[in-house]
Chain A
Amino acid sequence: DTEVTQTPKHLVMGMTNKKSLKCEQHMGHRAMYWYKQKAKKPPELMFVYSYEKLSINESVPSRFSPECPNSSLLNLHLHALQPEDSALYLCASSQGELAETQYFGPGTRLLVL
């Protein structure tokens, strides 16, 4: 099983809402990632978790809050987002952080009104 699942597929939220994105993998991978991708642009790294600990935060605004409850699950909590945060949010996992194939989920398409 080389699948990374993400829920929901689509999300529309207002600027005052609080919502969460969920990512799950059952490949025994110990590194998990959040990326943000705007239309016709490459993915941009947001966060990296390694062995359930945050190892990289790419200067992401505090309105994005990641959480790794266990080795299979990664959440991204959203609060007070701006319209410019509308994008495709991709989750990925790999066996380790370095020199490993990253497997991506299908993404959550987020629209902030």
Chain B
Amino acid sequence: KQEVTQIPAALSVPEGENLVLNCSFTDSAIYNLQWFRQDPGKGLTSLLLIQSSQREQTSGRLNASLDKSSGRSTLYIAASQPGDSATYLCAASGSARQLTFGSGTQLTVLP
């Protein structure tokens, strides 16, 4: 059974810092890995999806990487802003045809 872990559970940084969020998964037989953002009490917003054949994806200040062999993905946020404050969730899509979510990293960017 796939297990997804995100470290750290919470992170607080000053505005302007570059930061990395980590995601690890136990079963490397994944179809893709997605990163989502969730604001308090809201739904999930898809940020990036990396197919199993890809190594990274970029969108604006966000860059996500995938290393299937080590069971790891990272989300890099450049020049963080207070508006980036949210919970970031990674989710792996595997042979069970469903997303397995990590518990998330709660990010606070201080002005």
Residue of A nearest to B49 (CB): A101
Among candidates A45, A88, A107, residue contacting B99 with C-beta atoms closer than 8 Å: A45
**Is A81 engaged at the interface, CB distance under 8 Å to the other chain?**
no
B97 near A48 (CB under 8 angstroms)? yes
B98 near A107 (CB under 8 angstroms)? no
CB within 8 Å of A: which of B1-44? 31-32, 34, 36, 41-44
Nearest Cβ on chain B to A77's Cβ, whole angstroms: 21
C-beta contact mask, A37-59 vs B, less than 8 Å → 1, else 0?
A: 00001110100100000011010
- Chain A interface residue number, banded: 20 to 34
**Is A102 engaged at the interface, CB distance under 8 Å to the other chain?**
yes
**Is B64 engaged at the interface, CB distance under 8 Å to the other chain?**
no
Which residues of chain A are near B103, meaning CB under 8 Å? 41-42
Nearest Cβ on chain A to B34's Cβ, whole angstroms: 7
Which residues of chain A are near B104, meaning CB under 8 Å? 42
Residue of B nearest to A106 (CB): B43
**Is A66 engaged at the interface, CB distance under 8 Å to the other chain?**
no
**CA of A97 to CA of B98 in the docked complex: distance in angstroms?**
8
C-beta contact mask, B31-61 vs A, less than 8 Å → 1, else 0?
A: 1101010000111111001011000000000
**CA of A66 to CA of B89 in the docked complex: distance in angstroms?**
26
C-beta contact mask, A76-95 vs B, less than 8 Å → 1, else 0?
A: 00000000000010101000
A-contacting residues of B (Cβ < 8 Å)? 31-32, 34, 36, 41-46, 49, 51-52, 89, 91, 93, 97-99, 101-104
